[in-house]
Amino acid sequence: MDHYDVFIAGSGPTGMVLALYLAHQGVKVGIVDKTAAPGTTSRAMAVQARILELYRQIGLADEIVAAGKPNQAINLWAKGKHKAHLSLQLAGARYTPYPFILVYPQDRHEEVLVRKLEEMGVTVQRETELVGFEEHECEVTVRLRKADGTEKQCTATYLAGCDGAHSAVRHLLGGSFTGGTYDRLFYVADVEARGKAAEGEVHLSLETADFVILLPYTDTGRCRLIGTVREERADAAGQLSFEDVSHRALESLGLRVEQVHWFSTYRVHHRVTDHYRYGRAFLLGDAAHVHSPAGGQGMNTGIGDAINLAWKLAAAVRHEAPQSLLDSYEAERLAFAHKLVDTTDRLFTFVTAEGTFADFMRTRIAPIFASAAYSIDTMRELIFRIISQITINYHDSWLSAGAAGALKGGDRLPWAVQDGRDNHAPLPKIDWQVQVYGTPNDALGDWCTRHGMPLRVFDWGQGHEAAGFTRNALYLVRPDNHIALCDTGASAETLAKYFRDRAYRRFC
Ligand SMILES: Cc1cc2nc3c(=O)[nH]c(=O)nc-3n(C[C@H](O)[C@H](O)[C@H](O)COP(=O)(O)OP(=O)(O)OC[C@H]3O[C@@H](n4cnc5c(N)ncnc54)[C@H](O)[C@@H]3O)c2cc1C
């Protein structure tokens, strides 16, 4: 019987990114999918800056950015009038190397992940469905069924359920999936369109009880549309075509749709499971949370789950850390999923609400408010930071400690470039590191050498101050580029105590 360190059910973006990060850390992974081939439809289109920052760690960001279309601005329209031009470049350039929303269809994204996995020696076992599993003291036995009905088993130290919204792993665990379903029927369409709006930036057009989001993803008029189906046609879901969608918001953009390549309707759900960890089994991605596509967060959140869990599983497999490290995955990511579902729920309900008052607020008041807010630097930056997921923090985590200047344990490591040195430049391998902006003391240097901890020292500069760092302080950075510990005194003893308190054997 084959044995894996980590066995992954589901090879959507979440499962493949988990497999990739584990393989990069030398973990033996098995990954199966019940389908014969990866999806061929575009589905999630937005890749957010935070995911690109993390992809940079494994040398994937440049390729993905080059293949996609970096969208530099969002335009807001209401009742046919252009109300606001929100520049992402202006809002994000000082926070991230990726101050844009990358529009890159999910099917192409998945093709790259499949290839990268194969380069790491990992092949997805296709037409192989997880149909059961049993947890024992030291491992999990997984039952698999091939397309021809034959069954086989394998064992794994840990099991990851990345098997989508209808997750078999979640059902077998008895996990809940509480939430609801929105009334309106939505559509997604990949089209060839003509008109100024199709030439570059993202557009959101609001009409009476109707809206459309337009995401161009080539320079030649290929676009993704997301909108609502006309109320009187919504009951015919399954037999609908592009003719049945509300065209008013589209016409307001001056858009002429010449060809429809793909059209699909769907009901949008908002649901979160109550636990992400059950002993040796974990839930990630759509298996754990689903929400409206407002803000392009769904797939990104699944990938974020995978990257959060991968380094913790790698440490557990190598017996470097206690089991409580694995509990921090649920504590950190479940809290974020609840916040995200609440926010997208409010936004989505607002954008799709019906009635005279809702219409007035959406098409008259909101655009004025958005435009005014966006003209204020701090508001503009905040909006970009939320959408791009760079504000995600784990302040309440068991792994977070200390504060120095504007930063606290749990913050994402702010991005700073000074004299050509980039503090997000990847290490040779995914690992912990200590960063000091200024001069480290000898005791800290000795501790890092003795424990094989990479120590990166940056000559203090204004760029560091602007990013919130404190001169000569110590920043302990986790393998997923979040700050674990800040210490203004840069004390080797504080660093040692951090790991001792958490029984993190590798650094004790
Ligand atoms: C029509 C459509 C439009 C969308 N538009 C957007 C959008 O605009 N923005 C956005 O952010 N998101 C969008 N999404 C959602 C986005 O596609 C998902 O959030 C994303 O795919 C989640 O990735 P995942 O890997 O967690 O799950 P999935 O992509 O669902 O992958 C799960 C995988 O598990 C496999 N599987 C299931 N059960 C088993 C089993 N028992 N054994 C083995 N394999 C199994 C499935 O075959 C599948 O390949 C859209 C989805 C759809 C369907």
| Pairing mode, strands 81-87 and 29-32 | unpaired
In angstroms, what is the span from residue 94 Cα to ligand 1's centroid? 33
In angstroms, what is the span from residue 445 Cα to ligand 1's centroid? 46
In angstroms, what is the span from residue 393 Cα to ligand 1's centroid? 25
Alpha helices of 375-441 — where are they, by DSSP H? 377-387
Judge if the beta carbon of residue 285 lies within 6 A of ligand 1. Answer: yes
Nearest-atom number in ligand 1 for the CA of 297 is: 11
Q: Are 142 and 49 in contact (CB under 8 A)?
A: no
Atom 33 of ligand 1 has which residue's CA nearest to it? 10
In angstroms, what is the span from residue 432 Cα to ligand 1's centroid? 31
List Cα–Cα distances, 374 to 73, 103, 294, 505, in angstroms: 12, 22, 19, 48
In angstroms, what is the span from residue 145 Cα to ligand 1's centroid? 20
Q: Are 38 and 114 in contact (CB under 8 A)?
A: yes
- In the prediction, which pLDDT does 437 show? 98
At residue 76, the 3 state secondary structure works out as strand
Alpha helices of 454-501 — where are they, by DSSP H? 462-467, 492-501
- The predicted model scores a pTM of 0.94
Nearest-atom number in ligand 1 for the CA of 169 is: 41
Q: Is 50 exposed, middle or buried (0-12, 13-18, 19+ CB in 10 A)?
A: buried
In angstroms, what is the span from residue 118 Cα to ligand 1's centroid? 21
In angstroms, what is the span from residue 164 Cα to ligand 1's centroid? 5
Atom 35 of ligand 1 has which residue's CA nearest to it? 10
Judge if the beta carbon of residue 264 lies within 6 A of ligand 1. Answer: yes
For a pocket test of ligand 1, which of 299, 307, 348, 351 has the largest count of ligand atoms closer than 8 A to its C-beta? 299
Judge if the beta carbon of residue 38 lies within 6 A of ligand 1. Answer: no
Say which residues have a Cβ less than 8 Å from residue 385's Cβ, sequence separation at least 6.
92, 95, 391
- In the prediction, which pLDDT does 82 show? 87
Q: What is the full per-residue pLDDT of the chain (508 aa) written as tens digits?
A: 999 999 999 999 999 999 999 999 999 999 999 999 999 888 899 999 999 999 999 999 999 999 999 988 888 888 888 888 888 888 899 999 999 999 999 999 999 999 999 999 999 999 999 999 999 999 999 999 999 999 999 999 999 999 999 999 999 999 999 998 888 888 889 999 998 888 788 998 887 767 889 999 888 889 999 888 877 666 766 678 888 887 777 888 888 899 999 998 888 889 999 999 999 999 999 999 998 876 789 999 999 999 999 999 999 999 999 999 999 999 999 999 998 887 776 776 766 666 666 666 667 666 666 666 666 677 778 888 888 999 999 999 999 999 998 999 999 999 999 999 999 999 999 999 999 999 999 999 999 999 999 999 999 999 999 999 999 999 999 999 999 999 999 999 999 999 999 999 999 9
Judge if the beta carbon of residue 47 lies within 6 A of ligand 1. Answer: no
Query: Could you tell me where the beta strands, DSSP code E, fall in 333-490?
Result: 403-404, 407-408, 417-418, 421-422, 433-437, 455-458, 474-477, 483-487
For a pocket test of ligand 1, which of 106, 169, 170, 263 has the largest count of ligand atoms closer than 8 A to its C-beta? 106
Judge if the beta carbon of residue 12 lies within 6 A of ligand 1. Answer: yes
Say which residues have a Cβ less than 8 Å from residue 501's Cβ, sequence separation at least 6.
none
Nearest-atom number in ligand 1 for the CA of 131 is: 41
Q: Are 47 and 102 in contact (CB under 8 A)?
A: yes
Nearest-atom number in ligand 1 for the CA of 32 is: 43
Domains of the chain: 2-67+104-177+273-345 (3.50.50.60), 69-102+180-270+353-391 (3.30.9.10), 403-507 (3.40.30.120)
In angstroms, what is the span from residue 84 Cα to ligand 1's centroid? 33
Say which residues have a Cβ less than 8 Å from residue 281's Cβ, sequence separation at least 6.
133, 135, 140, 158, 159, 160, 161, 169, 173
